[in-house]
């Protein structure tokens, strides 16, 4: 079920419970006294619990989104530093920079597939395994480069380790989604709350309109939670600007190197 479908279902269920509450209040026999004070007290309690837990959940989702952006920026910094180290030993054909460029492009296609004309696929540790193989190959090539020192080799190894660690954090955080049971309980409170609002309110079209606006507000919080915990696809996305700049820089260097390799022609 898509995010919009789940949010629409939440809004519909909350509104149905509100209308059910208005119907019960409207059709209670006049001989029966409606416990208005008790209903308002319970609605106050449920409303407080709902506001506190929902606020914490939205806040944690937003922090997770910011964490993904920070991890991505760290990842790009590590890749840029590796590229700068390899660039110091630039030769006519430096296969290590070609491998690094392929890793960077693969990352861009993996996390922003719509920019590359593909569809989103679940990211897992199998993708990290391919990146590790590429980094191992880069380290092997770097060790045999002319003029490379032990400090350079250690720096590349350390940056490669940081790359793997940051990638692991991203993949692990992507797998830590909000439990469906937790969302079910929270929005179950919302249904109960709107049911009590319907019981204590006046049954009218204007009341139904206000309750429908409230149900949309509740559904929008569900939308925020789901979108912020899926930061690489949907409406709210982690910015790829840093990775785009790195790819542009690597492509430019690649073009300059290719042009310098072309033999001169004489007329």
CA atoms in the 13 A half-sphere facing the CB of 224? 16
pLDDT at site 28: 65
CB burial string 203-239: b at 16+ within 10 A, e below: beeebbeebbebbeebbebbbbbbbbbbbbbbebbbe
Within a domain: 263: no
What is the distance between the alpha carbons of residues 27 and 42, in angstroms, rounded to a whole number?
A: 21
Is the entire prediction scored with pTM above 0.75?
A: yes
Q: Which residue has the tokens 């509104």?
A: 15
Burial of 260 (0-12, 13-18, 19+ CB in 10 A): exposed
Within a domain: 211: yes
DSSP at 242: H
C-alpha 226: how far from chain center? 9
User: Domain tally for the chain?
Assistant: 1
Within a domain: 265: no
Within a domain: 13: yes
Within a domain: 217: yes
Within a domain: 189: yes
Within a domain: 99: yes
Q: pLDDT tens digits for the chain (267 residues)?
A: 678 888 999 999 999 999 988 888 777 654 455 677 787 888 889 999 999 999 999 999 999 999 999 999 999 999 999 998 888 776 656 788 889 999 999 899 888 887 766 777 788 788 888 889 989 998 888 888 877 888 888 999 999 999 999 999 988 888 878 888 888 999 999 999 999 888 887 778 888 898 899 999 999 999 999 888 888 887 888 988 999 999 998 888 777 766 665 544 433
Within a domain: 264: no
pLDDT at site 30: 46
pLDDT at site 266: 34
Q: Which domain holds residue 19?
A: 3-256
């Amino acid at each position: 079920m898509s995010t919009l479908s789940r949010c629409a279902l939440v809004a519909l269920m909350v509104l149905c419970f509100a209308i059910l509450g208005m119907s019960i209040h409207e059709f209670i026999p006049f001989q029966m006294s409606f416990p208005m004070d008790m209903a308002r007290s319970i609605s106050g309690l449920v409303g407080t619990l709902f506001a506190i837990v929902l606020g914490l959940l939205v806040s944690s989702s937003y922090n997770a989104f910011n964490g993904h952006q920070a991890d991505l920026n760290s990842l790009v910094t590590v890749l840029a530093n590796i590229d700068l180290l390899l660039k110091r030993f630039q030769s006519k054909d430096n296969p290590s920079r070609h491998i690094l460029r392929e890793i960077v492009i693969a990352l861009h296609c993996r996390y922003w597939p719509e920019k590359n004309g593909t569809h989103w696929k679940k990211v897992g540790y199998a993708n990290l395994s391919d990146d590790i193989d590429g980094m191992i190959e880069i380290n092997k090539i770097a060790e045999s480069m002319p003029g490379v020192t032990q400090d350079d080799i250690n720096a590349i190894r350390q940056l490669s380790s940081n790359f793997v660690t940051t990638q692991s954090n991203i993949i692990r955080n992507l797998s830590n989604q909000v439990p469906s049971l937790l969302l079910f309980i929270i929005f179950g409170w919302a249904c109960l709350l709107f049911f009590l609002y319907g019981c204590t309110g006046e049954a009218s079209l204007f009341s139904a309109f206000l309750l429908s606006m409230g149900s949309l507000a509740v559904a929008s919080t569900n939308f925020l939670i789901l979108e912020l915990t899926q930061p690489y696809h949907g409406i709210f996305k982690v910015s790829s600007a840093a990775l785009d700049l790195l790819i542009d820089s690597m492509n430019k260097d690649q073009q300059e190197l290719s042009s310098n390799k072309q033999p001169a022609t004489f007329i």
